[in-house]
């Protein structure tokens, strides 16, 4: 089960990787590509496979680091990522956006916000569990639920079909969140409800 931690620096990325994250996404707003590359190098020095490191929004930084990139609907760079041979994920709020992301070759879709979130002011209205379930039903690539997700509601996202969850504010809950997600994979978990 994918547990995607959205972080702003190498120390938090290292902590997240040690506490259950399977992906750490560097989200550095209002800095240059050079600064993102430096932060990426610092992160790659402390986060090792099997945990993946992904750069948020900046395809040039991702290319320089040789890592995947996450691109929102308004972010340029998908063609550049494909030409450079690096993987990319896409944000999606609708079934149509998710289908398009899959057709473009995205490795995953970050679907949301599932619930309202203060972490991203421009996230738009919440899509809810019904919107998440609709996206999950229409694509074959992993759908990662984001937006207001925490240890108390992550199982609802998985029940809606998500292949994992992404957290920003709830990064501090990673050990508990990892335990919740792992319990869903335990033998007999489906029978328990």
Is residue 141 within 8 Å of residue 107, measured between CB atoms?
A: yes
pLDDT band, very low/low/confident/very high, at 191 (cuts 50, 70, 90): very low
Token pair belonging to 143? 């759908």
Q: Which of 27, 36, 93, 178 is catalytic?
A: 27
* pLDDT given for residue 188 in this prediction: 61
Q: Number of C-alpha atoms within 13 angstroms, CB side, residue 46?
A: 16
Active site residue 27: yes
> What percent of the chain stands above pLDDT 70?
94
Token pair belonging to 112? 């949301």
Question: Is 137 a member of any domain?
Answer: yes
CA distances for 87 relative to 63, 77, 90, 110, angstroms:
10, 11, 10, 14
Question: Is 26 a member of any domain?
Answer: yes
- Eight-state DSSP code of residue 149: -
Is residue 112 within 8 Å of residue 119, measured between CB atoms?
A: no
d(CA 5, CA 11): 13
Question: Is 91 a member of any domain?
Answer: yes
Q: Which of 38, 80, 120, 176 is catalytic?
A: 120
* pLDDT given for residue 184 in this prediction: 85
- pLDDT tens digits for range 111-162: 999 998 776 666 678 999 999 999 999 999 999 999 999 999 999 999 999 9
- Domain carrying residue 140: 2-184
Question: Is 193 a member of any domain?
Answer: no
Question: Is 190 a member of any domain?
Answer: no
Question: Is 189 a member of any domain?
Answer: no
Q: Spell 162-175 as b/e; 16+ CB within 10 A means b.
A: bbbbbbbebbebbe
Q: What is the largest distance, in Å, between two alpha-carbon atoms of the chain?
A: 50
Other beta carbons within 10 angstroms of residue 158's beta carbon come to 18
Q: What's the structural domain count of the chain?
A: 1
Question: Is 175 a member of any domain?
Answer: yes
Active site residue 91: yes
Question: Is 41 a member of any domain?
Answer: yes
Q: Which of 36, 91, 93, 178 is catalytic?
A: 91
Average pLDDT of the chain is: 93
* pLDDT given for residue 192 in this prediction: 44
Give the CATH number of the domain where residue 24 resides: 3.20.20.70
Is residue 133 within 8 Å of residue 111, measured between CB atoms?
A: no
């Amino acid at each position: 089960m994918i547990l995607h931690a959205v972080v702003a620096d190498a120390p938090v990325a290292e902590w997240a990787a040690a506490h259950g994250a399977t992906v750490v996404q560097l989200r550095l707003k209002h800095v240059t590509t050079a600064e993102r590359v430096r932060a990426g190098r610092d992160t790659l020095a402390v986060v090792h496979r099997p945990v993946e490191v992904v750069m948020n929004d900046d395809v040039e930084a991702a290319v320089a680091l040789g890592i995947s990139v996450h691109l929102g609907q308004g972010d340029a760079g998908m063609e550049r990522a494909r030409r450079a041979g690096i993987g990319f994920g896409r944000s999606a709020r609708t079934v149509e956006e998710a289908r398009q992301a899959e057709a473009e070759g995205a490795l995953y879709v970050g679907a949301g916000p599932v619930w309202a979130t203060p972490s991203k002011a421009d996230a738009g209205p919440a899509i809810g569990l019904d919107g998440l379930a609709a996206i999950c039903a229409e694509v074959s690539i992993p759908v990662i639920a984001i937006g207001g997700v925490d240890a108390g509601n992550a199982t609802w996202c998985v029940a809606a079909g998500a292949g994992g969850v992404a957290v920003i504010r709830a990064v501090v809950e990673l050990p508990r969140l990892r335990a919740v997600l792992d319990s869903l994979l335990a033998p007999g978990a489906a029978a328990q409800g």
